[in-house]
Chain A
Amino acid sequence: GQNIDQPTEMTATEGAIVQINCTYQTSGFNGLFWYQQHAGEAPTFLSYNVLDGLEEKGRFSSFLSRSKGYSYLLLKELQMKDSASYLCAVYTGNNRKLIWGLGTSLAVNP
């Protein structure tokens, strides 16, 4: 079967660092994506990992370990506008479909 696990909710403080974990068990693996979705809006693409290691993009970084079936999204210098749902998705190679996690709702408090 296909399974992606993320924490349901997280809370952090403005200016802090937060790490959102994602573990997956899928029948194939051709990359892992992270998306951000604000309430009432469509998802926006944040990052993509296909090889092991850390990809850094400004305040956001994403890490992948294929042997462990594990990824995390690291958000630094948190801002209030980072309050959103963060979706982890795996591309298995099947007709470009993504297997989606249920998302982690992050609340950033002042």
Chain B
Amino acid sequence: GAVVSQHPSRVICKSGTSVKIECRSLDFQATTMFWYRQFPKKSLMLMATSNEGSKATYEQGVEKDKFLINHASLTLSTLTVTSAHPEDSSFYICSASGQGPYQPQHFGDGTRLSIL
């Protein structure tokens, strides 16, 4: 149980393109979803937390207009990197947490984004 699917796994695109990443909880209802960014050999950096049906809460320093997050249902959240530039190239990982007080975060497989 507790499977999270993230798609696509890899994206290579030109500078200025907008890229949408999907995160789905396949066998549980995810009341909260998280978006992380990770640089090589560095720790996870939380970008934002989203609760179903409400606006995402962004961490300090993360541009809301650059990284658009939508959590429209209990099983789907999307992250759109708008007008991506080479410095946005990174490993983006989503996680989902179910209902209840002590539910662990379960991670998707991540999306490796490369902007040329």
Q: Is the CB of A45 within 8 A of B102?
A: no
Q: Which of B97, B102, B107 contacts A42 (CB 8 A)?
A: B107
Chain B residues, CB < 8 A from A101: 43
Within 8 A of A (CB), among B22-41: 31-32, 34
A96 within 8 A of B: yes
Q: Is the CB of A41 within 8 A of B109?
A: yes
Q: Select the residue from A33, A97, A102 with max chain B CB neighbours within 10 A.
A: A97
Minimum CB–CB distance for A28 against chain B, Å: 13
Q: Is the CB of A43 within 8 A of B107?
A: yes
Minimum CB–CB distance for B106 against chain A, Å: 6
Chain A residues, CB < 8 A from B105: 33, 45, 96, 98
Q: Which of A30, A45, A50, A100 contacts B44 (CB 8 A)?
A: A100
The binding surface of chain A is classed by DSSP as: loop
Map CB proximity to A onto B60-87 as digits: 1 under 8 Å, 0 otherwise.
0000000000000000000000000000
* Known contacts A45-B106, A48-B104; A96/B32 CB under 8 A: yes
Within 8 A of B (CB), among A69-85: none
A95 within 8 A of B: yes
A30→B100 CA distance, assembly (Å) = 12
A44 within 8 A of B: yes
Minimum CB–CB distance for B69 against chain A, Å: 14
A103→B41 CA distance, assembly (Å) = 10
Minimum CB–CB distance for A49 against chain B, Å: 10
Chain B residues, CB < 8 A from A87: 43-44
A43→B105 CA distance, assembly (Å) = 10
Query: What are 17 A-B interface contacts by the 8 Å CB criterion?
Result: A31-B102, A33-B104, A33-B105, A41-B110, A42-B107, A42-B108, A43-B107, A45-B104, A45-B105, A48-B104, A87-B44, A91-B102, A95-B49, A96-B32, A96-B97, A98-B105, A100-B44
Using a CB–CB distance below 8 Å, which chain B residues touch chain A? Answer: 2, 6, 31-32, 34, 43-44, 46, 49, 51, 57, 91, 93, 97, 101-110
